[in-house]
């Protein structure tokens, strides 16, 4: 009996061993992607999540408004009472006391969908899309290069600072990147002649359209695929290609309808309307001038917008700024990517060459479009700022080409194959070390994590306040990320003199108290409003209701006569 059961266990163990050895890469990838999802949703898992970023706060408000009022226009009736628009302290533009979004519709719909399922779901959706993006990046790299290059590139890219940081935020850069790379993977199946079914034409158009919904610039990026399409035209079925383009256009048409519905013009987006509103304010200045001045102004506008970047192309400035946004984020890889491009153009292997042309066109355009024109110094650099999150595609291309070059070296140093693995190990160590120093240092990820934790705590506390409560604060300290109750931003009272500023704020508080709104002030704020009220306002009483290490909340009400 014992002998029989022992042999059974042995057989099972052997089967497990066989299965593990056969599928070792797949097993590794499964656990690796699981780990990546945990890292990307770290803030949410550890209850330290809230729409902390200026843009994410706007996305949150508009998404919530979409669920509650079935509208993309946000309007606060209380705002009409005040000169300064203290309730509109997030991205958007104001017209006829209605607040219009400048965010992309895709991110608002995605967040709304998540909110329907739960408070944390929108954040998990971003992390999930980030992980999916990494998976499809692996598949795409495998299609163009090979399994080994795909594996190392995926590990380096997924563990890089920009991916970890922005997958933990409610911002659409990571979802847009993921959807685009997914579309690129399905398109690469056609380009490399691996699969030429109708589904491979429909899926890229679907994912490319979704990426455009998330961020409109991805529409421009599609243009860089034209050389690749042209060079592989023989493997493309024209009928399917036309169907794919029609589906792509069809999927984008709702954007134009929404634009028409909101701004009375299909091609006018929220951002454009905001620019127009700003121009309107300075319109008097322009149009009171003579005709000649108007012509000069128009020429200057065209010159500044389109020509100055080319005319004033300063190579030293460009290299200096690229050092901060490319070299410092991926030290060690840039040199290999330069040599990698040289190898690809030298070897002229069809798929790699087409990909290299696409990636080069894309990177050059985007670097010229995004990198600042002024000579940046270390103190000017904002690694946590917009540039690294706009550069996700550039980063993944740089990594892919560099790893290709390292494996190209192994062809040259066959006897010194171990050298290649040492290079790879050193690169992994450098990437992990650099990511951790950016996360806790200038990248502010750990700082943002702690700040979000604080705001999350505030959100939990203010849930007990009456429904109509208004929390007064300062967006430079605590206001962004507070979503439990309506918030009033003192920063929106744009009076330079602090005393005057406090007077206006107190008047607003009194108006709101007269309308029976419970008012709470969160300290600290730049005005130290509670101190001012205690010293100067005899008819108001302030009562500390919550005191924590890093914030205090005071309730304010009229003194009984």
Q: Quick one: which of 266, 331, 372, 518 contacts other proteins (CB under 8 A)?
A: 331
Q: Is 411 an interacting residue with respect to other proteins (CB under 8 A)? A: yes
Q: Which residue in this structure is represented by tokens 């509670």?
A: 530
**DSSP state, residue 177:** H
Residue pair 137/153 in contact by the 8 Å Cβ criterion: yes
* CB closer to other proteins, 303 vs 413: 413
Q: Is 416 an interacting residue with respect to other proteins (CB under 8 A)? A: yes
Cα 37 from Cα 129, distance rounded (Å): 9
Q: Quick one: which of 300, 425, 460, 545 contacts other proteins (CB under 8 A)?
A: 425
Q: Is 559 an interacting residue with respect to other proteins (CB under 8 A)? A: no
Q: Is 134 an interacting residue with respect to other proteins (CB under 8 A)? A: no
Q: Quick one: which of 151, 163, 393, 491 contacts other proteins (CB under 8 A)?
A: 151
Q: Is 152 an interacting residue with respect to other proteins (CB under 8 A)? A: yes
Q: Is 115 an interacting residue with respect to other proteins (CB under 8 A)? A: no
Q: Shortest gap between Cβ of 224 and other proteins (angstroms)?
A: 26
- The region of 149-157, 233-241, 371-379, 458-466 touching other proteins under the rule CB under 8 A is 149-157
Cα 404 from Cα 166, distance rounded (Å): 26
Q: Is 356 an interacting residue with respect to other proteins (CB under 8 A)? A: no
Residue 77: name the closest of 93, 63, 98 by CA.
Answer: 98
Q: Is 319 an interacting residue with respect to other proteins (CB under 8 A)? A: no
Q: Is 346 an interacting residue with respect to other proteins (CB under 8 A)? A: yes
Cα 474 from Cα 472, distance rounded (Å): 7
Q: Is 332 an interacting residue with respect to other proteins (CB under 8 A)? A: yes
- The region of 115-123, 180-188, 244-252, 410-418 touching other proteins under the rule CB under 8 A is 410-418
* CB closer to other proteins, 72 vs 149: 149
User: In whole angstroms, how large is the CA radius of gyration of the chain?
Assistant: 28
Q: Are strands 486-489 and 470-473 parallel, antiparallel or unpaired?
A: parallel
Residue pair 471/509 in contact by the 8 Å Cβ criterion: no
**DSSP state, residue 194:** S
Give 164's contacts (C-beta < 8 A, 6+ positions apart). Answer: 39, 40, 435, 439, 445
Q: Is 198 an interacting residue with respect to other proteins (CB under 8 A)? A: no
* CB closer to other proteins, 43 vs 489: 43
Cα 526 from Cα 553, distance rounded (Å): 15
Q: Is 36 an interacting residue with respect to other proteins (CB under 8 A)? A: no
Q: Is 375 an interacting residue with respect to other proteins (CB under 8 A)? A: no
* CB closer to other proteins, 1 vs 414: 414
553 bridge partner residues: 522, 546
Q: Is 545 helix (H, G, I), strand (E, B) or coil?
A: strand
Q: Give just the sign of the alpha carbon dihedral 126, 131, 132, 136.
A: positive
Q: Is 318 an interacting residue with respect to other proteins (CB under 8 A)? A: no
Alpha helix (H) residue ranges in 118-172: 121-144, 147-158, 161-167
How many residues of this chain interact with other proteins, rule: CB under 8 A?
43
In Å, how far from its chain's centre is CA 65? 21
Residue 424: name the closest of 452, 448, 403 by CA.
Answer: 403
Q: Is 553 an interacting residue with respect to other proteins (CB under 8 A)? A: no
Q: Shortest gap between Cβ of 330 and other proteins (angstroms)?
A: 11
Binding residues (CB under 8 A) for other proteins: these are 24-25, 28, 35, 147-148, 151-152, 155, 331-332, 335, 338-339, 342-343, 346, 411-419, 421-430, 432-434, 436-437, 440, 446
């Amino acid at each position: 009996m014992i002998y029989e059961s022992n042999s059974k266990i042995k057989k099972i163990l052997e089967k497990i061993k066989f299965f593990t050895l056969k599928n070792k890469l797949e097993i590794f990838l499964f656990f690796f992607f699981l780990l990546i999802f945990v890292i990307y949703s770290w803030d949410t898992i550890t209850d330290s999540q809230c729409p902390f970023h200026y843009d994410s706060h706007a996305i949150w408000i508009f998404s919530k408004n979409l669920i509650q009022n079935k509208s993309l226009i946000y309007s606060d009736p209380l705002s009409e009472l005040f000169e300064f628009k203290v309730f509109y302290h997030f991205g958007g533009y104001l017209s006829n006391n209605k607040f219009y979004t400048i965010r992309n519709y895709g991110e608002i719909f995605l967040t709304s969908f998540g909110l329907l399922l739960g408070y944390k779901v929108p954040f998990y959706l971003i992390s999930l899309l980030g992980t999916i993006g990494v998976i499809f990046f692996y598949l795409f790299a495998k299609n163009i290069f090979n399994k080994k290059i795909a594996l190392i590139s995926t590990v380096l890219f997924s563990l890089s600072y920009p991916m970890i940081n922005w997958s933990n935020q409610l911002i659409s850069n990571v979802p847009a990147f993921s959807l685009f790379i997914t579309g690129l993977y399905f398109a690469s199946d056609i380009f490399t002649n691996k699969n030429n079914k109708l589904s491979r034409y429909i899926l890229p158009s679907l994912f490319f359209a979704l990426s455009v919904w998330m961020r409109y610039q991805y529409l421009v990026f599609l243009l860089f695929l034209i050389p690749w399409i042209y060079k592989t035209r023989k493997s493309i079925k024209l009928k399917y290609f036309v169907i794919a383009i029609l589906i792509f256009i069809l999927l984008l048409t709702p954007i134009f309808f929404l634009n028409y519905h909101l701004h009375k013009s299909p091609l006018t987006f929220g951002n454009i309307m905001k620019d127009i509103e700003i121009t309107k304010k300075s319109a008097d200045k322009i149009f009171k001038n003579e005709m000649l001045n108007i012509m000069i102004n128009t020429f200057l506008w065209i010159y500044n917008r389109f020509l100055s970047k080319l005319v004033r192309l300063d190579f030293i400035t460009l290299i200096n700024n690229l050092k901060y946004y490319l070299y410092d984020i991926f030290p060690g890889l840039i040199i290999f990517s330069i040599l990698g491009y040289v190898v690809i153009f030298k070897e002229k292997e069809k798929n790699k060459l087409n990909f290299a042309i696409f990636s080069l066109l894309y990177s050059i355009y985007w670097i010229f479009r995004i990198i600042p024109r002024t000579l940046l110094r270390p103190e000017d650099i904002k690694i946590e700022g917009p540039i690294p999150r706009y550069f996700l595609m550039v980063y993944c291309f740089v990594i892919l080409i560099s790893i290709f070059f390292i494996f190209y070296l192994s062809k040259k140093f066959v006897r010194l194959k171990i050298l290649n693995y040492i290079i790879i190990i050193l690169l992994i160590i450098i990437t992990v070390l650099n990511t951790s120093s950016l996360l806790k240092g200038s990248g502010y990820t750990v700082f943002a994590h702690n700040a979000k934790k604080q705001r999350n705590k505030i959100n939990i506390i203010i849930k007990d306040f009456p429904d109509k409560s208004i929390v007064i604060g300062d967006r430079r300290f605590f206001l962004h990320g507070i979503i439990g109750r309506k918030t009033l931003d003192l920063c929106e009272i744009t009076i330079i003199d602090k005393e005057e500023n406090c007077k206006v704020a107190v008047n607003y508080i009194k108006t709101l108290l007269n309308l029976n709104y419970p008012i709470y002030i969160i300290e600290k704020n730049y005005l130290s409003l509670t101190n001012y009220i205690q010293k100067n306002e005899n008819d108001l009483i302030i009562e500390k209701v919550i005191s924590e290490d890093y914030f205090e909340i005071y309730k304010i009400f009229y003194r009984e006569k």
